[in-house]
Amino acid sequence: MQRLFSTFPNGLPGLGLLLQRLTTGTALVQLAMIHLRSQAGLETMLPQVICLAAGLLLLLGLWTPIAGAVIAILQLWALVCGDPDPWIRVLLAMLGATVALIGPGAWSVDARLFGRKQISVPPHQDF
């Protein structure tokens, strides 16, 4: 997973990525919940469940590139299928793609699991 990210930015860039992940994930979860409550068909439920799961992963910062790519693909698919509100789909697709390309940032589960580790080697002692 480390190969997917150049770094896990900390400081203000890391805060910006955290805010972007939280905004995108919250909007996606809210939109998926609204659609799940209003529709009963399995063909419309499955993409919304996948979007809900990807939004939750994004909120946690877990498997961020995969979740972002899934979000972008599903939102573009909803756009092609003729969603009544196309601009929210375009916005979520772009946000999902940018999160997938940039990465999760330092404040994420990905950074804890796959971030750079510092290995301390004890000094060599001669006998």
61-15-95 Cα angle (round to 5) = 60
Residue 75's domain comprises 10-114
**Rounded to 5 degrees, what are φ and ψ at 54?**
-65, -35
**Per-residue pLDDT at 97 exceeds 80:** yes
Task: Establish if 24 belongs to a structural domain.
Answer: yes
Q: How confident is the model at residue 4 (pLDDT cuts 50, 70, 90)?
A: low
Tell me if 4 is assigned to some domain: no
**How does the average pLDDT of the chain come out, rounded?**
85
Let me know how many helices (H) and strands (E) the chain has, helices first.
5, 0
In a domain, 121, yes or no: no
Query: How many domains does the chain divide into?
Result: 1
Domain assignment of residue 124, yes or no: no
Q: How many residues does the chain have?
A: 127
Average pLDDT over residues 8-17: 83
For residue 5, pLDDT over 80 is answered with no
pLDDT at 2: 47
Among the ranges given (12-16, 28-32, 66-70, 108-112), the one the predictor scored with the smallest mean pLDDT: 108-112
Residue 1 lies in a domain: no
Of residues 35, 31, 36, the one with CA closest to residue 96: 31
Q: Is residue 109 part of a domain?
A: yes
At 6, is the pLDDT very low, low, confident or very high (cuts 50, 70, 90)? Answer: low
